[in-house]
Every structure is written in C-alpha cells, then in structure tokens.
Structure 1
Amino acid sequence: MATKLNMLPEDCLSTILSFTSPADACRLTIAASSLRSAAESDTVWARFLPSDLPSIISRAHSQLDFSSKKELYFQLCDSVLVDGGIRSFSLNKLSGKKCCLLSARALSISLSNEPNHWSWTSHSASRFSEVIELKTISGIEIEGRISTDNLTPKTTYGAYLIIKVSDRAFGLDSIPSETSVSMNECLVTNTGYLCPLDNKKQQLESLFFMNRRRMMEKRVVKGEGRRPCKREDGWMEIELGEFFVGGKGEEVKMNLMEVKGHQLKGGLIIEGIEVRPKC
C-alpha cells in the first residue's frame, strides 16, 4: 500500500491523507518514513483543525505560538484557556472533536458570592486561576450552559462535574443529588452522589440516621446514583448526563441540585463542568 502511495505527487498524497484522521496521519508517519513529509504537511493538519479556528484563536487568553498546523493541533489538544481564562478549549487527540471545560466562574452556583457558604480560592491542581470550595450549606444548585456552536456537530457529548473532596468534608454522601441535561424540549435526569463510597461511614450513618435517610430519598428522582470517578489529572468527575449535537445555535443546560433544607454539607471543591465527546 505504502509503495503505491509513494508513486503519487506529495501534494496529491497530502490531499488524500487529509480525508483520514489525526490518528491515521500519526500512524503513517511512523509506519512509512517515505510518507512522513506528506502526513505532516499543513494541508493534512489544516483539515483536522476546527472550521472556526480564527474565532478560537481570537478568544485565547494568551497568544498561541506554533510553526505548523500539526503543532497547533497538538497545542489545542493540551487545552487552551479562552474567554478571559474562565473556559478551557481543547481537541480530542484521536478524533479532533471539540471539548470544553467551563470553570466554576463560568457556572451559576447558588449563593456562590456569600462568604459564609462558599470560598473562592486557588488550587495548585487546577488549570484555572480560581476554584470554589463549599464551607457549609444545606442545599447545592449548580448550572452550566454552553452553545452547540462551540461543539462538534453530529456528536454525542457527555457533561461531567469536576470536583475534589477535602479531608474535612461532611454531609456530601447522605442522599443522591439530582442531575440533568436539557436541550430544547429534551430533558434527561438522573442521580449521583458528590462523594466516593465510604463503606465504614455509610454503615455508621445507617445505624443512626436510617429513618431520616429514607425520608429524604423519597424526595429525590429515581436514578443510578452515580459515584465520582478518578481522572488522570487528579480530580474526580461525576457524569451529569449526555446529549446529541445535531446542529448549531442550540443551548445546552447542565444542572446538579442537592435537596435543600435537610442536612448541612461542606468540603466540596468545584473546578467546573467539562463537556467532551463520548465516542
């Protein structure tokens, strides 16, 4: 196959390779040294970059420095802060599909500016200048919004709340929170816990608060009761739901609501909500 391709002019070969994928182009540079020049050309990698690239570059929080379209592609894969540093944009390394992370500052969080309830602070593990940490509150309401203009059409996306739980956390795993993702008239709901499963703590709570817990759970919609999962970057994530991007100009709302007025909770650290392709 590589021998037959070598017979083609490089510009023709580059055009052909531009209809493959970033993963395929990278494999060709390793598998066949004679194809490397064509596979690394701007003609190929320009096609893998998003069509609204000028807008993304203009929104970047700091100037991007690159010498080729391939270098720019992988720079975007590592994520770039945009919109004054409150959002992060990136590309899926294998597919080139768009990903977006809304920082806590880009979310609507109930009572977030009340210092008795929440604290805005920096965190060494975060890509953003600020995260928000819960001091104490009886109910949590978080909402994020994103336009499908910022995502890849004809793609199924998942929305994930990115969190950490401090050593002094309390009340976060008493009952599941209600999660939802909505677009147009379509609303998908589920449930999830804000804290990883702690069997010992759960057993103690069952002994002392079983009746109260059962009463509170009746107020929550039925769902899977998802638990946070660890991420490679050291944070944890809980899936809020998924949606399909059919076109542009639509707004997606992502919510998490913890039932109010029942139990104080604290120690939750929120980095933001990530929206990324599921396939």
Structure 2
Amino acid sequence: MDCEGAAAAEIYRLPEECVAYAISMTTPGDACHSSAVSPAFRAAADSDAVWDSFLPPDHAAILARADDGIAAAGECASKKDLFARLCGRPVLLDDATMSFGLDRRSGAKCVMLSARALSIAWGDDPSRWRWTPGLPGSRFPEVAELLDVCWLEITGKLQLSLLSPATTYAAYLVYSFADYTTGLECNIGMPTPMATVTVVSGAGGTTSRPPAAPATTTTTEQHKICLQHMGEEETIMHRQELVIRLRKAFGRTVRFDPDMDIRCPRPRDGGGGGGGWREVELGEFAVPAAGGEDGVVEVSFKEETGRWKTGLIVQGIELRPKCTSKLIKLDS
C-alpha cells in the first residue's frame, strides 16, 4: 500500500466524533461534498453535531417567535433538515411582520421586513395606499399597493444583532406592479429615485450603556435607483444625458464614472407562485465581527420628483448576505 492509501485508511479509522468536528469547521457546501467520500464520512457529515454548528447560535430563540410553530411541531427530523427548511422556506415571525431564513452557502441569517414593518409615507391614508391580502408569490399575507402619491418614501430599520456578525449584507426592495402604473418609470432628464443605507454603531441596541459611552459611528451610502427597467438603448441615452448635463454645469470634460450607473431591477428568484415580483438592490453594509449589539441599519428609498405615482406594490425589504459562490445541494 502506498503512502496516500495508508493515510486514507488511517482517516477512515478516526472516530465519527473527530470527523464530525473537522467537518463542522468547514462550510455547508463542504459538508455535503464530504458525505460522498464514504459511508462513515456521510454519517459524520449528516450528524446533528455538524449542522448545529452551521445554524445561528440563537436560532432556537428566533424560531420560538415563529408564527407556524416550526420548532414545536417537530417538522424537521434533524438539524440538517432544519437548515434545509430555513434555506428553502423562510419562516414568518412576529405576526408576519418579518421573515427569517438562512443563506444556503454560508448559513448566515436572511431577514425580510414586511410592508407592515416598514415606515411608508402616507401609508396610513387609505386614499394613498391600499393594503391587499393574498397576492401570488408573496411571502407575507399582506402587501401595500400605491394608489396615488407625489412623494414616495419607504424606510426600514433593523438591529444589527438580528443579523450574522462579520458578514456583508445587501438590502433589496421587493416589489411588483399593478395592472396600471404611472410616474414610476425612469425618464431622461428627470431626477432619479435615491436609496440610502445608513448604519449607526453604538446606539439603538438592547444593551445598556453608561452615560459616558463612546460616541456613535455612522456610515452612509447612496445610489440612484430605477424601479421600471429601461431598455439597453434608453439606458445608454440616460447615461449620455448625465454626462452632457455635467459638462454644461462645470464647463469641462467629464469622464464617465461607473458610480453614475443606475441600479435596475431584476426578476426575483425563489419567490414561488409567480406574481411578477422583482427586486432592486438599494445598497450594502457590513455587520461587525462583534455582532453589532448596539447597532442599527436603516434602509430608505425616496422618490421626490413631484410626479404623481400609482401602481407600485411593496412586499418588503430583504437583507441577505452578499455572495458570489455557486449554490449547493443539501440532499447530496
């Protein structure tokens, strides 16, 4: 037997607990791949000890707030089943004002604030907004439909402690359109809607601090947003118009800056049930490694061109990890 074969044989002799511990130090994808090595590795890779390490430490406390009682009902036979359930079908929390799920690649938390959990300008005026139940593909039982406003502003807030530490997140507005819409398209020469993501560290959390606590730290980023996607030719014309206006304003040659790009929507994956839902990225932010117990993230979308608008249907704002790796299958 050669050296490599001897080393492999020694690995197979390791106790299952040792193999499980080693696998738990990797990723969910690595655990699925290692289960194909041998029956012994599969037993270790599928064990509760491994998949419990991929679940957030506070997942039991979060699931205790679930509206469908996932933990009490014993729906999942193992920790791996629970992980797969939260990746594929997020659970509703706190009377369907929030959903909680996991990122399939990393196990990081994914949170979505429902329209009811958002602050919507004129949202309590029935002549401006209508609350509609049961639209196909919606994660929540109720969504907000815009009837008629000239000032569109939507804001959501969440404590950073509800997200995974040491993780970069992106915020997405999840929405659709009614059969008839006006005032939501991006017109050349018109101001574009703006999205703002603000993270305040050191304030707004649940922990108590003495009066002499350090000053808070605030970081903010802004982006131009287009709700109704422009065609390729119209997008190019819009960018050219921006450059022309800058040249006229400053009287000098202006180099095209990628930051001038307008963020456009895309069809939403995994929504299920149709409904024409789409999403547009509003911005990104980082949760500190310490977990951000005293931090708050505020995400806002504002359109204040003065145009009257109608037909926007808001499902919520989703916060999920930024990741570019390939999807993994949990049934491998």
Shift of 1:223: 4.5
C-alpha distance in 2, partners of 1:15/1:124?
43
In structure 1, what residue type is equivalent to 2:302? Answer: M
Shift of 1:4: 3.8
Query: Is the 1:165–1:195 Cα contact (8 Å) retained in structure 2?
Result: no
Query: Is the 1:181–1:255 Cα contact (8 Å) retained in structure 2?
Result: yes
* Compared CA separation, residues 4 and 236, structure 1 to 2 (3 A): farther
Q: Secondary structure at the match of 1:238?
A: strand
C-alpha distance in 2, partners of 1:199/1:182?
31
C-alpha distance in 2, partners of 1:71/1:2?
30
- Aligned-pair RMSD on alpha carbons? 2.2
Shift of 1:76: 1.4
Give the greater-gyration-radius structure (CA).
Answer: 2
TM-score, structure 1 as length reference: 0.88
Which position in structure 2 is the counterpart of 1:255? 300
Query: Could you report, residue by residue, the CA deviation over 1:63-86 in whole angstroms, capped at 9, with x for unpaired residues?
Result: 112221111111111211111111
Query: Is the 2:16–2:40 Cα contact (8 Å) retained in structure 1?
Result: no
TM-score, structure 2 as length reference: 0.74
C-alpha distance in 1, partners of 2:78/2:59?
14
Q: How does 1:174-189 map to 2 (within 5 A)?
A: 174=187, 175=190, 176-184=192-200, 185-189=218-222
C-alpha distance in 2, partners of 1:199/1:23?
37
Query: Could you report, residue by residue, the CA deviation over 1:43-63 in whole angstroms, capped at 9, with x for unpaired residues?
Result: 111111101122111111111
Query: Could you report, residue by residue, the CA deviation over 1:93-134 in whole angstroms, capped at 9, with x for unpaired residues?
Result: 111011101110110001112111111002121010101111
* Compared CA separation, residues 199 and 44, structure 1 to 2 (3 A): closer
Q: 1:149 aligned to 156, 161, 165, which one? A: 161
C-alpha distance in 2, partners of 1:92/1:30?
22
Which position in structure 2 is the counterpart of 1:241? 283
2:76 equivalent to 1:66? yes
Query: Is the 1:2–1:32 Cα contact (8 Å) retained in structure 2?
Result: no
Which position in structure 2 is the counterpart of 1:76? 86
Which position in structure 1 is the counterpart of 2:181? 169
Q: Secondary structure at the match of 2:17?
A: helix
2:168 equivalent to 1:131? no
Which position in structure 1 is the counterpart of 2:120? 109
Which position in structure 2 is the counterpart of 1:88? 99
Shift of 1:22: 0.8
C-alpha distance in 2, partners of 1:109/1:2?
60
Shift of 1:169: 0.9
Gaps of 5+ in 2: 1-6, 201-217, 250-258, 324-332
C-alpha distance in 2, partners of 1:18/1:5?
16
Shift of 1:3: 4.0
Query: Is the 2:165–2:287 Cα contact (8 Å) retained in structure 1?
Result: yes
Shift of 1:92: 0.5
Shift of 1:31: 3.9
In structure 1, what residue type is equivalent to 2:219? Answer: C
Shift of 1:19: 0.8
* Compared CA separation, residues 3 and 148, structure 1 to 2 (3 A): farther
Q: Secondary structure at the match of 2:40?
A: helix
Q: Secondary structure at the match of 1:237?
A: strand
In structure 1, what residue type is equivalent to 2:121? Answer: S
C-alpha distance in 2, partners of 1:272/1:31?
42
**Larger helix share, 1 or 2:** 1
C-alpha distance in 2, partners of 1:3/1:81?
47
Gaps of 5+ in 1: none
C-alpha distance in 1, partners of 2:151/2:231?
21
C-alpha distance in 1, partners of 2:44/2:178?
50
